[in-house]
A = this chain, B = another copy of it.
Amino acid sequence: MHTSQLDKTFAALADPTRRAILARLSTGDALLKDLAEPFDMTVPAVAKHLSVLENAGLISKGRDAQKRPCHLEPEPLKLAFDWLERYRKIWEFRFDQLEKLLDEMNDPR
């Protein structure tokens, strides 16, 4: 089956290290060695996570062959956000219902 952009984006986000890398890159570009520092992981293990993120189009790497700083690419995040937003009405409706229920419990007349 064709692996869509959404498949790749959600799969890439299903890991706390990869989400932490994106959070770090949201503050500015960074090199592999700087990204690896805060994690209790080897540089190759972090490089593997970067490959997953790059394959999903969530990061890109600079052209400088020596350094290749990583750069956040937010477009796939927006697509995932847009997909989730379709369900917004449903969770808002459920929360309204819950609130009404709690109000009735507090004021049972």
Residues of B contacting A23 in the complex (Cβ-Cβ under 8 angstroms): 86
Q: Is A75 engaged at the interface, CB distance under 8 Å to the other chain?
A: yes
Number of copies of this protein chain within its complex = 2
A49-84: CB near B (< 8 Å → 1, else 0) gives 000000000000000000000001011011011011
CA distance A9 to B19 in the complex (A): 13
B16, A14: Cβ atoms under 8 Å?
no
Which residue of chain B has its CB nearest to the CB of A7? B14
B7, A10: Cβ atoms under 8 Å?
no
CA distance A78 to B81 in the complex (A): 10
- Residues of A within 8 A of B (CB-CB), count: 32
A1-15: CB near B (< 8 Å → 1, else 0) gives 100101111110111
Residues of B contacting A77 in the complex (Cβ-Cβ under 8 angstroms): 84, 87, 90-91
Q: Is A103 engaged at the interface, CB distance under 8 Å to the other chain?
A: no
Q: Is A94 engaged at the interface, CB distance under 8 Å to the other chain?
A: yes
